[in-house]
Amino acid sequence: MLALIPALASAAEVTATLDRDHVQLGETVTLNVRVQGDTGGIAAPDLRALSQDFQLLGTSQNNSLSVINGQASSELTFGVALRPRHVGVLQIPALSVAGQRTAPLQLTVTAPDPAAAAATQRDVFMESQVEPAHGYVGQQLTYVVRLYYANRIGGDAPPPPQVDGVEVSALGKGLNYDAERGGRTYHVLEQRYALIPQHAGQVEIPPVDFQGEAADPRDPNSFFGATVPISASAPAQTITVKPAPADWGGSAWLPARQLSLSLDGWPTAQNAPPRVGQSLNLTMNLQASGLSYEALPALSLPPLDGATVYPDKPVTGNRQDGQWIIGRRQQSFAIVPERAGTLTIPATTLKWWNVLTDKMEVAQIAAHSVTVLPAIGAAATPPPAAVDSGAAGNTVPATTTPTPWRWIALASLALWLLSVLAWWLWRRRRRASSVTPAAARTSVRSGQLAFLAAARGSDPAAQARTLLAWARAERPAIQHLGELATALDDAAQRAVIDALQQLRYADTAPPDAGANLAEAFKRGFAWRATAVASEDSGLPPLYPFKLH
């Protein structure tokens, strides 16, 4: 319950995004206001400031809860459908939600494309677009395909493009909105894809085709009316992919729209400084827009002088804002100081390529120093100076070494484990030695009685089992009846064992075999005098392990 308090106390994070930043006049655009964190009792934002430049077509609200790597998070999304009133760069002002204000946004509205307007003479047509039209290897580009249809149609959604040397992944589940082309209203099915080129050069995106059925215009109101086949094709696109700069070096190539690097968890004025042996928990975060987390480098800290660094399991993942992939890596570290004084964590730098400015930038975590106090109960000051016996009256400051508390603790634990192991072995030997000759005789006698009872019966398997158990009570090394017969000096005993084996496996022994078995062993086993010595024949055994 205490571990959940920081998560419950964290403030909600509010962001606002548009599903598109370029539209033509007459199209609709969706404004999404997302609240992450504590989403309880949050009211919808005030949208009156948007009415000057937009028509508000409708609003929606969606609340979701997700668990990633054992951490629960909730998200509340307010969706607003907007239709621009005029051409130009329209401003969406900051909105107040959950006590915070969103960042302002811009939407570029252009006049309808004449070429697209000419295509509106058809009931169904498609458009395609790549944003931007050129980029670098590893940079995410966005491919947009739109299907326009005026009447009710049926069929599968257009498939994703198949491009050699390019990773293609869908961005979201698609958009549905209305748009005007040439004075005619169309329904639009839009799907966006993330394209990540793997090599430099010209990349051709082939046409994307749609095939389906439309209601017969001669019978538009009949549910069971006739249909006619329809088809449309999105134009092919060409993108230019540039390689990484020749002087980039051997570090990871990170072409991103935005990248941030931070290290959190430093002691504050309200927190007591760490002590020797107490862990300092820091969390490093790396986030990049336009890059998947797989492309981001692993996070680490260098070896520290005076402390040991223990990395935790990394947390990774991707999310989308409708247009771009946002990759994230998070790595937690437990830093355990080993001596008092100043602990310095060096600066961490990461260079990346800003695809918006087409320049290299460096993300940096500045060096940080922390004062480490002595362990509780340890001496806060060094011991007094030692006297040099070779020069009377001269003193030499004694050099003190921090107490290796961790090794002392580990040695104490090891000694305790050795003590427990020694006690367990002593108890085991004592238990084994507690078997007295009287107890051994009792075991042999019990085995003999069990065998004689089985010999009077008609179960050859029980007779063999009890005879072997009785023999093992006297000679534990015997493994089967064949070894028992070899160890016996009495021909009659060996003969009845052979008859018992025949009765078990061949069913050819005489009917009075049981009586002969009991008679042969009524006075016990007639062991060979050399039976024990014969066990060591100088040859490796057929079965080098004992079967019990």
Of 367 and 216, the structure prediction assigns the larger pLDDT to 367
Distance CA 171, CA 4 (A): 33
Distances (CA, A) of 332 to 34, 157, 259: 27, 43, 19
Q: What angle do CA 364, 285, 292 make, to 5 degrees?
A: 100
How many CB atoms neighbour CB 241 within 10 A? 21
Q: Is the pLDDT of residue 410 over 80?
A: no
**What is the average per-residue pLDDT within 186-214?**
91
Q: Is the pLDDT of residue 366 over 80?
A: yes
R_g (Cα) of the chain, nearest Å: 42
Q: Is the pLDDT of residue 50 over 60?
A: yes
Distance CA 261, CA 288 (A): 9
Return the pLDDT at 510. 59
Distance CA 71, CA 441 (A): 66
386-387 and 348-354 strand pairing: unpaired
- At residue 431 the predicted structure's pLDDT band, cuts being 50, 70 and 90, is low
Tell me if the bond preceding 132 is cis, omega within 30° of 0.
yes
Q: Is the pLDDT of residue 65 over 80?
A: no
Q: Is the pLDDT of residue 400 over 50?
A: no
Which two tokens mark 504?
């078990």
Please answer whether residues 320 and 267 qualify as being in contact, where contact means their C-beta atoms are separated by less than 8 angstroms.
Answer: no
| Amino acid in the structure at residue 233 | S
Most confident of 129-133, 178-182, 289-293: 289-293
Alpha-carbon 121 to chain mean position: 52
Most confident of 34-38, 362-366, 447-451: 362-366
- At residue 242 the predicted structure's pLDDT band, cuts being 50, 70 and 90, is very high
Please answer whether residues 241 and 197 qualify as being in contact, where contact means their C-beta atoms are separated by less than 8 angstroms.
Answer: yes
Distance CA 482, CA 463 (A): 15
Return the pLDDT at 535. 43
Of 89 and 427, the structure prediction assigns the larger pLDDT to 89
Q: Is the pLDDT of residue 495 over 60?
A: yes
Q: How many residues are listed for the chain in this entry?
A: 548
Please answer whether residues 243 and 134 qualify as being in contact, where contact means their C-beta atoms are separated by less than 8 angstroms.
Answer: no
Please answer whether residues 225 and 215 qualify as being in contact, where contact means their C-beta atoms are separated by less than 8 angstroms.
Answer: yes
**What is the average per-residue pLDDT within 226-240?**
84
Return the pLDDT at 257. 95
- Tens of pLDDT, residue by residue over 85-128, are 888 999 999 999 888 899 999 999 987 665 665 565 778 899 99
